[in-house]
Chains A and B, each alone.
Chain A
Amino acid sequence: MIEIDRITKIYNGVPAVDAVTMTVESGTITVIVGTSGSGKTTLLRMINRLEEPTSGEVRINGESTLEIKPHLLRRRIGYAIQGHGLFPHHNVARNIGAVPTLLNWPKDKIRARVDELLTLFSMEPAEFRDRFPAELSGGQQQRVGVARALASRPDLLLMDEPFGALDPIIRARAQDDLRRIQRALGSTIVLVSHDMEEAIRLGDRVAVMDGGQLVQHGTPADIIANPATPFVADMVGDMERPLRLLSLVPLAEVVEDGGAPGAALPADGSLRDALSACLWTGRTAVPVEREGALIGRVTLETIRARAGLRA
């Protein structure tokens, strides 16, 4: 558990982060969203003390980060940034093994960990281990960057706009990968983004920052349904709200008995996918399948009921 306790950063008399208090549960993804200048990156960088807080403190599993030497603290916390920051003169294996090397892991243990991570990120170790960053595509570089941040099994992974430099299709894949890997490893992640879409897609919790203050902290559904301030509502986008809500509901949660014509959707798809399929093919219901077997249907009626504020 990460407890951020009234943390403040003042630059030239102006608070960049103003007494933010927030708790991040272990094994969850928290996305800090805000416009540029909202203090979101400063907040993130105070967690691993790349910025020293003016006041307040951060506790990781009860231990104050102020009591640990900064470089030792950072070795326990993964850090991935926009534009990956890989070392161009080291190959993939040395890049991923950077933190374990700092921690003096034995060589064979590092090697095994590198191969394990490459496999986890769907990159064949024998093929990619010895390549240099310049010989990878943008998506591959980004995956190596995240693998490097995860290499020492850190208590916490901080990510600063990790997908900012990727094109939209690769970005969506990278987000899905991150979700899958986070579930598999049970990692705790704090991620900074300026993109509410990304926050809703990835976050178990979303924290909205504005002018150095934490204006709302809750589940994505909560943020969409009950924006605390006009700024949050603006970030969510009024027009998009029903669709964003629908994208949060998996079909498996609302499937009902019965049949429907046409192609089936997978149970882990969202209601947004179902609405799209209905509108596109003129159906009033779509069948739902799990591993090839039909398990029921979802009707437009159900979709409508979940798309707005329920009375």
Chain B
Amino acid sequence: MAGARHGVSHPGVLFAVLGLAALLVPFMTLAANRIVAAEGVMAWSVAPAALTIPGLVALVLGLGLGLPAARPRLRLLGAVLGLGGLLWLLVQGASGLLDGAGDYARVSPALGVWCLLTIFMLSMTDALVQLAPGPLARGTLLAAVLAALAVILWSGALAPLSVLQEYASRKAAFADAALRHLALAFGSLATAALIGFPVGILCHRNRRLRGAILPVLSFLQTIPSLAMFGLMIPILGWIGDSVPGAQAFGIAGIGFAPAFLALVLYSLLPVVANTVAGLAAAPPASIEAARGMGMTSGQRLLRVELPMGLPILLTGLRIVLVQNIGLAVIAGLIGGGGFGTFVFQGLNQTATDLILLGALPSVALALISAIVMDILVELTRPQAARAA
């Protein structure tokens, strides 16, 4: 209809083709227990036809609604409908497939689910980019999506899925890992900001200092993460052994301290470099005028340079936060705790579900942080620039 008038969305076509193809690969898998190889089940066989048809219709309709290029709202609706269909099929399959399959049987989402999930999320992102909602609308949307996700998980409809089974048997450890992961990511961010902002301000004021510090921080950034965590072990181990009282503060070769320190070191370059860039963003004429009207250097910093550079400063924090949520997974390798613990346990036991239990929340956390920080960055843009 609208497609005929205004043409077809190219990404929409791509999503539709890929989505239909994704329906032709196994949608879920069923295994007799946690370790043995699983067998794939197609989307239309996860439950009786009467139950799968509504879900399949929603999927196909969702892909179709993504086509009209000039109707971003319709495309958004299509993505939501598709995600709904996906969820419906998952819920039906989760309970349906387990019926009579034995006590240790496991049912998991397979390639089809992951592909379709990705396709509908991309389609949603594409529609949102076209709609260009304001920061407030984006925040509301994010809250709505999170609330829906919470309700679904709370309801227990997906509880039979193997990932959630892994969760059910590790509730306490999961809460612990989540707290630890947040502490690593946000704690290192806060520490890096506390160190990086003053250093950035000094670098902005002093060209020579900038020339000395930025290359060092760039060098730190180039150390591969595994190597960095590895390097922390002997260094902090030595400090823990030779500085009296250090071990009482938890400083040792492995554990939270080396992971935290490595994350802080990684964070310094984005924070310092963006602080320098942000402070340099004020037009030279404005700085000259500020000096000429009798602002002290502190007043210039607080009233002119910082407010104008704030979006760039926050962009630095955004980079650090998203980066550290990802890196904190690797910290699991040196006993730093966090979701990485599950990932590496899962890798050792070749238990995919356990890997996912660590990986999925990390991805979600990174996504949410990125969206929230983007909203903050936009809110701090000067009003006039936003209006234009």
Q: Which residues of A contact B (CB under 8 A)?
A: 48, 50, 70-76, 79, 81-89, 98-99, 102, 132-135, 145, 148-149, 158
Identify whether the interface residues of B are mostly helix, strand, loop, or mixed.
helix
The CA-CA distance from A85 to B285 in the complex, in Å, is 4
Q: Contact check, A71 vs B296: say whether CB atoms are below 8 A apart.
A: yes
Which residues from chain B contact A99 at a C-beta distance below 8 Å? 293-294
How many Å lie between the Cα of A133 and that of B303 in the bound state?
A: 16
Closest Cβ–Cβ distance, residue B171 to chain A (whole Å) = 48
Report the nearest B residue to A82, measured CB to CB.
Answer: B285
Convert B285-305 into 0s and 1s, putting 1 for each residue whose CB lies closer than 8 angstroms to a CB of A.
Answer: 110111111111001000110
Q: B289, B292, B308, B382: which contacts A132 (Cβ < 8 A)?
A: B382
Partner of A86, one of B286, B292, B296: B286
Q: What would 15 A/B residue contacts be, using CB atoms closer than 8 Å?
A: A74-B293, A75-B294, A76-B294, A79-B292, A81-B288, A84-B289, A85-B290, A87-B286, A87-B289, A88-B286, A99-B294, A102-B294, A102-B295, A134-B384, A158-B292
B289 engages A81 (CB within 8 Å): yes
- Is B283 located at the chain interface by the 8 A CB criterion? yes
Alpha-carbon separation in the docked complex, A73 to B296 (Å): 12
Give A70 to B285 CA distance when docked, in angstroms. 19
User: Given known contacts A79-B289, A98-B293, what 14 new A-B pairs fall within 8 Å (CB)?
Assistant: A50-B292, A74-B293, A75-B293, A76-B294, A81-B285, A82-B285, A85-B292, A87-B289, A89-B307, A102-B293, A132-B383, A132-B384, A133-B384, A135-B387
The verdict on B385 contacting chain A, using a C-beta distance below 8 Å, is yes
Map CB proximity to A onto B255-285 as digits: 1 under 8 Å, 0 otherwise.
0000000000000000000000000000101
Of A85, A88, A133, the contact of B308 (CB 8 Å cutoff): A88
Q: What is the distance, in angstroms, from A163's C-beta to the closest C-beta of chain B?
A: 15
Q: Does B388 contact A (CB under 8 A)?
A: yes
Contact status B292-A74, CB under 8 Å: yes
Interface, chain B (partner A; CB < 8 A): 283, 285-286, 288-296, 299, 303-304, 307-308, 382-385, 387-388
Give chain A residues whose Cβ lies under 8 Å from the Cβ of B283: 85, 88
Which residues in A have their C-beta under 8 angstroms from that of B382?
Answer: 88-89, 132
**Known interface pairs A88-B286, A89-B308, A102-B299. Does A74 touch B291 (Cβ–Cβ under 8 Å)?**
yes
Contacts of B308 in A (CB 8 A): 87-89
B291 in complex: contacting residue of A50, A89, A102, A148, CB < 8 Å: A50
- Does B385 lie within 8 Å of A85, measured CB to CB? no
Q: How far is the CA of A85 from the CA of B293 in the complex (A)?
A: 11
Nearest B residue to A152 via CB reads B293
A145 to B290, CA, bound (A): 12
Residues of B within 8 A of A76 (CB): 294
Instruction: Give the shortest distance, in Å, between A70 (CB) and chain B (any CB).
Output: 8
Residue pair B293, A134 in contact (C-beta under 8 Å): no
Contact A74 B388 (CB under 8 A): no
C-alpha spacing A187/B112, complex, angstroms: 78
Closest to A45 in B: B292
* Nearest 5 Cβ contacts at the A-B interface: A85-B289, A132-B384, A79-B292, A74-B294, A75-B294
A81–B291 CA distance with the chains assembled, in angstroms:
12
CB neighbours of B303 from chain A (8 A): 87
Q: Chain B nearest CB: distance from A133 CB in Å? A: 7
Q: How far is the CB of B309 from chain A (nearest CB, A)?
A: 10
Report the minimum CB–CB distance from A140 to chain B (whole Å). Answer: 14
Closest chain-A Cβ to B88's Cβ sits at a distance in Å of 49
Residues of B within 8 A of A133 (CB): 384
What distance in Å separates the Cβ of A93 from its nearest Cβ neighbour in chain B?
13
Asked if A81 meets B292 with Cβ closer than 8 Å, knowing A88-B308, A89-B307, the reply is: yes
Residues in B whose Cβ lies below 8 Å from that of A98? 293
Q: How far is the CA of A102 from the CA of B300 in the complex (A)?
A: 11
Residues of B within 8 A of A84 (CB): 285, 289
Residues of A close to B299: CB separation below 8 A = 102
Docked Cα-Cα span, A102 to B304, in Å, equals 13
A48, A81, A87, most chain B CB atoms within 10 A: A87
- Chain A: minimal CB distance from B300 (Å): 10
A134→B290 CA distance, assembly (Å) = 18
For A99, give the chain B residue with the smallest CB separation: B293
Bound together, the chains give a CA A75 to CA B292 distance in angstroms of 8
Report A-chain residues with C-beta under 8 Å of the C-beta of B292.
48, 50, 74, 79, 81, 85, 158
Min CB distance, B226 to chain A, in Å?
43
Q: How far is the CA of A87 from the CA of B286 in the complex (A)?
A: 6
Knowing A79-B289, A87-B286 touch, does A134 contact B385 (C-beta < 8 A)? yes
Q: Is the CB of B384 within 8 A of A135?
A: yes
Contact A85 B384 (CB under 8 A): no
Q: Which residues of A contact B285 (CB under 8 A)?
A: 81-85
**Minimal Cβ-Cβ distance residue in B for A95:** B289
Cβ contacts under 8 Å, A135 to chain B: 384, 387
> In the complex, what distance in Å separates the CA atom of A148 from the CA atom of B292?
12
Set of chain A residues within 8 Å of B290, measured between Cβ atoms: 85, 87
List the A residue with the shortest CB-CB distance to B285. A85
Q: How far is the CB of A135 from chain B (nearest CB, A)?
A: 6
Residue of B at shortest CB range from A131?
B384
- Chain B min CB distance to A74 (Å): 3
Q: Give bound CA distance, A135 to B387, whole Å.
A: 10
Given the complex of chains A and B, what is the CA–CA distance between A91 and B256 in angstroms? 48
| CB atoms of A134 and B307 under 8 A apart | no
A298 CB → nearest B CB, Å: 44
A13 to chain B, nearest CB (A): 23
